[in-house]
Chains A and B, each alone.
Chain A
C-alpha cells in the first residue's frame, strides 16, 4: 500500500482540541468531527450554507492570520484556515452570550405552543433553547401573528408563527428537489414562507420539508396530532415501494405505524425520500385478510390455518406440474427465494415469473444473462460520471431518489441525455438533452449517442417494451466502455431476478437450460433433478390458465390490473385451483380458492435489493403473529411432502447467499422481432407514483397532492386530429377507453402520452400497450 499524502488538510484548534480537515470545510463541520456540537438551525450539511439564523456563532480568536474577530462569527459559513483558533459555547463566554442572545431573539416571535406542537420532543428549537438559551425571556411585547395553519399542499400544513425563517425548506425544494413550490417572500419582520400560486402541484419530495424543518412550522396532515415523539418506537428499515432502496425510519405506537421518515443513508438516499415512501403506508389495513379463507360451495369462508394449508397442499398436489406461480415484484429477497424454491421443489415446475407488469421474452434473457449478479454502477458513480443516458426511464417517477442524485450530479457538471418520446419537466430539471425517440425505437436511437468510459446508461422497466433495446444497452456499453444499470420500478424486482423467480433462471443467475446449473441447484435443494425446460412466463401462465391448460396457480402480491391482460388473469384464476398469498382482499384473492394472509411489510424482516443490487435491511417494526410468504410456503410444501425447509427469514437469507453467482455460460441476448403496427397513434406511457396504485390506498392527502392526469400530443399531431390543448379526449385500447384533458407538449409526432396507471384504468385494463396503436378521439371541451 502506498502512502497517500493529503496535501489539502488544514489544522485548526477548536476548544483546545486540534483537528485536521480538508480545506474548504466550515468550522461547524470541523467541530462535529471532534464531537463538538455547535447549535444551528439554517445549517444543514446537504444544503448550501446560508448563515442566516446566526445560532452557530463562535469566538474566532485567531483566523489563521494571527488576528481574531472582535465579534462572534457564524461557524456554518466560515471556512477553516491553518492555525485558526476557535472557541465555542463550551469554552467561550463571548460565544455563549452570542448564542443565548440569538436564541432569545428567535423566541421573541415563536409561540410557546410546544404542548400542542407535533415537533415538541424532537424539536431542534426546543432542544437548543434548553441547551444554549437563557431559560427566561426579557421580551414582554407583542408577538407576530398569522392565521394558522396555512394549507401549502393537500399534504402539507404551515404554521407561519412557528417558523424561524431558516430557509431549510425553501433551499431543499430549490437545491435538492428542483421543485420550488415554496419560497421566502416579503421582507423584514413580514418575511414568510409563501406558496407559488402558479405551482402545478407540490412536489414528489414535499414531505422532506417536514422532516428538515427545525421547528414545528411544517407538519404533514396525515401525522398532525397523531402521536408524540416520545411515545413512538422507531425502527430503521427499508422502503418497500420502489427500487431506489431508501432507508427509512418507521415510527410505531401501540402496534400501529404512525409515520415514516427518510432514514440516514449517505450512500443511497442521503437524508431524503419521496412522498410515496413517506406517506403511503396505510393500505395494508384497509381490507386486510384477517384469517385464512377457503372456498366452500363457491364462497370464501374463514378457515383455520391447518385447514387452509391442507386445502392448498391438496389442490396443488393434484395439479402436479400443470401449475403456474406469479409471486409479484414486491417481495423481499427471502420471500422471493422461497417462491423460487417452492416452484421447483414443491411443484416441480419452472412456470414462475415475478413480472406482474408487461415484460418480454428478450427481457427474461436479459434479466438472466445481464442483470442477475451484475456489478452495476452505484449512486456515487452517478455523481462522478460525465454523462448519463436515460433510456425508457423517467427517474423522478420510476426511481425518485435516482432523480435526486442526478440533480445533485448535474450541479457538479454531469450531462444527461434523455431518450424519450416526450420532453418532460423532470428531464428539464436535469438540464437534459432531450432526444425525441418514437416508442419502440430506443435501440436505434441509443446507437447514435456518443458514449465513453465516463458514461452510464440507465434503462428502465419500459426497456422491455422496445424490441432490442435491452440488448442494445449492453452492447453499446461493451463497445464504448460505458457502464449501465437496469432500474426497475418495484422494490422486489432485483431480488426476484437474483433468486430465480423467472421461468429461465435459478438462483444466482443459473440458467434453467444449463445442466450444470441445474445440478448445482438440485444438489443444494436435495432434489434428484430440476425440470430442464424453460417454464412459462407470466403472459403464458395467464393465457394457459385462461385456456384451461393449467390446473393450479399460486399468486403472491399481484394486482391483476397491472398485468398486460387482467381479464385473462381473472379467467385463469377462475378456471384453476388458485392459492393466493395476500394481505388484502385483492382481485386475485377474491377469486382464489384458498387465501392465506401474509404479513405486512412492517410485520416482517428481510432484505430488498435495490437497483444497485445493494441490500437494504427490512426490520420488523410492529409485533405480529402474521406469517410471511416464506413461512406459509414452507407449511404448504411440508404438507405436500416436498419440504422447502425455509421456516425463517435467516434460513432463506443464508441459503440464497450460499449460491453465489453463476460463473458459467449464460444464454446470449436476443431481440424479438418488432411487431408491425397498423397506421395510427402510437402509445407511450409510464406509471407515476401518486396515481392509481394499491399501495396508495387510504392516503387521501397523498392522492390529492398528485398532479392532475392528462393526455399529451405534439402540436402537429393534435392539429392533424383536429384537437387542441384543453380538449377532452378519449383514448381507447382494445378493451376500454379513458377520457383525459389534452395537453400539447413537445413530443414525437404520431405518439400520445397517457398515464399507465390512470385512476380510470391501467393500460392492461384498456387493452393498450406502449409502442402499440391506440385510438384517440375528441370528446368535447
Chain B
C-alpha cells in the first residue's frame, strides 16, 4: 500500500535537522531555483500553468493562471503573499511542512516571485503558531545569509525581500482579503471585491496570494517538469498533495499521495478505523466541507470527484469519526468554532452562527423542541450564500450535511441528551479522555 505514497513535499520529514539550510542544500535544494532564474519569468509562469498545479488552500484555482492575472504594466510594486494561516479544523499539513522543510517554501517563493516580477514577499503565519514563525524567521535569515534573498540574488540581478508576519490568531485571516487587511495592520475582515487582489491587493498594489503547499510544490515542477507532475493525479486535478487524517484511525497523520486517491486507500495507509470500530462519517477537506459517510469511501479525492458528491476537496483534511461519535455533538463543536471565528462584519454570519449554536446546544442537551431541526435548516437557508464571504457557508454546510445524513440523531435531541445516546468517553481517543 505504501507505493501509493508520493513523497515530494514530505520526503525529508523526520530526517535529522531537515529544517536547516545545509540539509536542504545537500539534498537537492535550490536546483529548481537555479534553473528558474535562468529561464524567462513568462517561461516559469507557463511551466506552472502547463503543469496544471491547482491551489492547495482549498479553492483549487490554477496557480499559474492566478499569477497571470497580475498586471505587469502596473507601475506599482507587485507582492507575493504566502498564506500560512492554516486554521481549518482538522487541517494540519502546512505547519508540519514548514517545520520540517521550511526551505522548500522559500525556494518556491524565489521561483514564484521571479515569475510574477515581485520583489517583496510575505509569509503570513497563523498567530497561534509561534513556533512555526520562529522556524521560518530562522530559515529566512539563512536565505539572506546565502544570498537567496536580498539584492541581486545569486548574482542574477533579481532582488527579493521576504518578511515573516504573524497574524493575531483569526480563522478569517485565511480568507485572502482579510489576510491583506491584517497584513496592512487593520482588523482582519474581508474586503469588498472587486477590486480583486491581483489588481489592488496589499497596499492597493497587484498581489498574488498562494497557499504554502502550492508554492512549496513549485520547485518540484520546475525541477522535474510538466510531464512528471501531470503523470500524477487525475485528468483535471494534477499532481500530489498532502492529506491530513485525524480522528478515529489507527495511525493519524499526513499522507502525501496523488490527487484522486480514495478515502478507502487513505484509510488503509492510516491503519484503518481504530480497532473494533466502524467508520461513521468523515470530512473530506476540513469541517467546512460537507461531511461524507461510508458510501463515499471510493470517491476520488480530487476537485471534481468531491464536487460530484456535493462536497469539496477543501484542505484535504479527513476528520474521521467512528460509530461511538455523536454527530450532534461534533456539529455543535464545529458551529461553536464558526461562531467564535466569525469576524462579525456581516449579519448572516455574525448573527446566524450564534443562533445555530443556541439551537444545537439545546439539541445536544436533549432539550430540543419539535421543529428545531427544521428551524436549524431554515436558519442555514437564511445564511447560505448570503454572507459577505464564504466563512458562513462552511458553518452552514457542516450542519446541513450532518442533518442530511443523520437527521434522526438530531431529532433524538428533542428527548435525549447526546451524551446519553453516545457516551462521550467511548469516543475519546485516549484513556481518560473527555468525559
- In the assembly, what is the distance between CA of A54 and CA of B339, in Å? 18
Pick from A50, A77, A106, A141 the residue with the most CB of B within 10 Å.
Answer: A141
Given contacts A109-B351, A184-B187, A187-B170, is CB(A51)–CB(B192) below 8 Å?
yes
Stretch at the interface among B59-67, B257-265, B374-382: B374-382
Q: Using a Cβ–Cβ cut-off of 8 Å, how many residues does chain A contribute to the interface with B?
A: 37
Q: Which of B143-199 contact A (CB under 8 A)?
A: 170, 172, 187-188, 192
Q: Which residues on B sit within 8 Å (CB–CB) of A109?
A: 351, 354
Please determine whether B347 and A141 come into contact, CB atoms closer than 8 angstroms.
no
Q: Does residue A350 face the partner (Cβ distance < 8 Å to B)?
A: no
Contact code string B383-395 (vs A, CB < 8 Å = 1, else 0): 1111110000000
Please determine whether B386 and A188 come into contact, CB atoms closer than 8 angstroms.
no
Q: Which residues on A sit within 8 Å (CB–CB) of B379?
A: 138
Q: Which residue of chain A has its CB nearest to the CB of B352?
A: A105
Shortest distance between the CB of B353 and any CB in chain A (Å): 7
Of A52, A71, A101, the residue contacting B346 (CB under 8 A) is: A52
- In the assembly, what is the distance between CA of A104 and CA of B340, in Å? 21
Q: Which residues on A sit within 8 Å (CB–CB) of B355?
A: 105, 108, 139, 141
Q: Which residue of chain A has its CB nearest to the CB of B170?
A: A187
Q: Which of B368-417 contact A (CB under 8 A)?
A: 375, 378-379, 381-388
Of B170, B344, B387, the residue contacting A190 (CB under 8 A) is: B344
Given contacts A52-B347, A54-B348, is CB(A105)–CB(B341) below 8 Å?
no
Q: Does residue B332 face the partner (Cβ distance < 8 Å to A)?
A: no
Q: Which of A602-641 contact B (CB under 8 A)?
A: none
Shortest distance between the CB of A112 and any CB in chain B (Å): 16
Q: Does residue A70 face the partner (Cβ distance < 8 Å to B)?
A: yes
Please determine whether A188 and B347 come into contact, CB atoms closer than 8 angstroms.
no
Contact code string A54-86 (vs B, CB < 8 Å = 1, else 0): 110100000000000011101001000000000
Q: Which of B311-359 contact A (CB under 8 A)?
A: 339-348, 350-355, 358-359
Of A102, A165, A187, the residue contacting B382 (CB under 8 A) is: A102
Pick from A49, A51, A142 the residue with the most CB of B within 10 Å.
Answer: A51
Q: Which of A130-154 contact B (CB under 8 A)?
A: 138-139, 141-142, 144
Please determine whether A52 and B382 come into contact, CB atoms closer than 8 angstroms.
no
Q: Which residues on B sit within 8 Å (CB–CB) of A189?
A: 339, 342, 344, 350-351, 353-354
- In the assembly, what is the distance between CA of A105 and CA of B172, in Å? 21
- In the assembly, what is the distance between CA of A164 and CA of B350, in Å? 10
Of B340, B346, B358, the residue contacting A51 (CB under 8 A) is: B346
- In the assembly, what is the distance between CA of A49 and CA of B343, in Å? 18
Q: Does residue A478 face the partner (Cβ distance < 8 Å to B)?
A: no
Q: Which residue of chain A has its CB nearest to the CB of B385?
A: A71
- In the assembly, what is the distance between CA of A55 and CA of B388, in Å? 12
Please determine whether B344 and A188 come into contact, CB atoms closer than 8 angstroms.
yes
Q: Which residues on B sit within 8 Å (CB–CB) of A142?
A: 358
Pick from A49, A164, A191 the residue with the most CB of B within 10 Å.
Answer: A191
Question: For chain B, what secondary structure do more than half of its interface residues adopt (helix, strand, loop), or is it mixed?
Answer: helix
Q: Which residues on B sit within 8 Å (CB–CB) of A51?
A: 192, 346, 388
Q: Which residues on A sit within 8 Å (CB–CB) of B385?
A: 70-72
- In the assembly, what is the distance between CA of A109 and CA of B344, in Å? 13
Q: Which residues on A sit within 8 Å (CB–CB) of B344?
A: 165, 184, 186-191
Shortest distance between the CB of B370 and any CB in chain A (Å): 13
Q: Which residues on B sit within 8 Å (CB–CB) of A57?
A: 386
Please determine whether A49 and B192 come into contact, CB atoms closer than 8 angstroms.
yes
**Number of contacts between A and B (CB, 8 Å)?**
98
Q: Which of A188-216 contact B (CB under 8 A)?
A: 188-191
Q: Which of A25-73 contact B (CB under 8 A)?
A: 49-55, 57, 70-72
Q: Which residues on A sit within 8 Å (CB–CB) of B192?
A: 49-51, 77
Q: Which residues on A sit within 8 Å (CB–CB) of B170?
A: 187
Please determine whether B388 and A54 come into contact, CB atoms closer than 8 angstroms.
yes
Contact code string B94-121 (vs A, CB < 8 Å = 1, else 0): 0000000000000000000000000000
Please determine whether A164 and B347 come into contact, CB atoms closer than 8 angstroms.
yes
Q: Which residues on B sit within 8 Å (CB–CB) of A185?
A: 187
Of B188, B341, B346, B381, the residue contacting A54 (CB under 8 A) is: B346
Q: Does residue A644 face the partner (Cβ distance < 8 Å to B)?
A: no
Please determine whether B350 and A188 come into contact, CB atoms closer than 8 angstroms.
yes
Please determine whether A188 and B340 come into contact, CB atoms closer than 8 angstroms.
yes
Q: Which residues on B sit within 8 Å (CB–CB) of A186?
A: 344
Pick from B346, B351, B386 the residue with the most CB of A within 10 Å.
Answer: B351
Given contacts A49-B192, A101-B382, A101-B386, is CB(A188)–CB(B352) below 8 Å?
no
Q: Which residues on B sit within 8 Å (CB–CB) of A106?
A: 347, 351
Q: Which of A640-684 contact B (CB under 8 A)?
A: none
Q: Does residue A98 face the partner (Cβ distance < 8 Å to B)?
A: yes
- In the assembly, what is the distance between CA of A54 and CA of B350, in Å? 11
Q: Which residues on B sit within 8 Å (CB–CB) of A139?
A: 355
Please determine whether B386 and A191 come into contact, CB atoms closer than 8 angstroms.
no
Q: Which residues on A sit within 8 Å (CB–CB) of B345?
A: 52, 191
Q: Which residues on B sit within 8 Å (CB–CB) of A97?
A: 382
Q: Which residues on B sit within 8 Å (CB–CB) of A55?
A: 347
Please determine whether B350 and A102 come into contact, CB atoms closer than 8 angstroms.
no
- In the assembly, what is the distance between CA of A109 and CA of B118, in Å? 46
Please determine whether A52 and B352 come into contact, CB atoms closer than 8 angstroms.
no
Shortest distance between the CB of B87 and any CB in chain A (Å): 14
Shortest distance between the CB of B232 and any CB in chain A (Å): 33
- In the assembly, what is the distance between CA of A185 and CA of B170, in Å? 14
Please determine whether A165 and B350 come into contact, CB atoms closer than 8 angstroms.
yes
Pick from B192, B339, B343, B384 the residue with the most CB of A within 10 Å.
Answer: B192
Q: Which residues on B sit within 8 Å (CB–CB) of A138?
A: 375, 378-379
Please determine whether A188 and B346 come into contact, CB atoms closer than 8 angstroms.
no
Shortest distance between the CB of A702 and any CB in chain B (Å): 32
Please determine whether B348 and A191 come into contact, CB atoms closer than 8 angstroms.
no
Q: Which residue of chain A has its CB nearest to the CB of B354?
A: A189
Shortest distance between the CB of B118 and any CB in chain A (Å): 28
Please determine whether A72 and B386 come into contact, CB atoms closer than 8 angstroms.
yes
Shortest distance between the CB of B300 and any CB in chain A (Å): 25
Please determine whether B386 and A52 come into contact, CB atoms closer than 8 angstroms.
no
Shortest distance between the CB of A78 and any CB in chain B (Å): 10
Given contacts A101-B382, A105-B351, A109-B351, is CB(A52)–CB(B342) below 8 Å?
no
Pick from A49, A97, A165, A185 the residue with the most CB of B within 10 Å.
Answer: A165
Please determine whether A188 and B342 come into contact, CB atoms closer than 8 angstroms.
yes
- In the assembly, what is the distance between CA of A471 and CA of B354, in Å? 66
- In the assembly, what is the distance between CA of A499 and CA of B188, in Å? 58
Q: Which residue of chain B has its CB nearest to the CB of A183?
A: B187
Contact code string A86-99 (vs B, CB < 8 Å = 1, else 0): 00000000000110
Shortest distance between the CB of B345 and any CB in chain A (Å): 5
- In the assembly, what is the distance between CA of A141 and CA of B368, in Å? 12
Please determine whether A54 and B386 come into contact, CB atoms closer than 8 angstroms.
yes
- In the assembly, what is the distance between CA of A196 and CA of B223, in Å? 53
Give residues in A with beta carbon < 8 Å to B.
Answer: 49-55, 57, 70-72, 74, 77, 97-98, 101-102, 104-106, 108-109, 138-139, 141-142, 144, 164-165, 184-191
Q: List 6 A-B contacts (CB under 8 A).
A: A51-B388, A53-B347, A101-B386, A105-B382, A109-B351, A109-B354
Sample of 11 more A-B contacts, CB < 8 Å, known A102-B347, A188-B341:
A49-B192, A51-B388, A52-B346, A101-B381, A105-B351, A138-B379, A142-B358, A184-B187, A188-B350, A189-B350, A191-B350
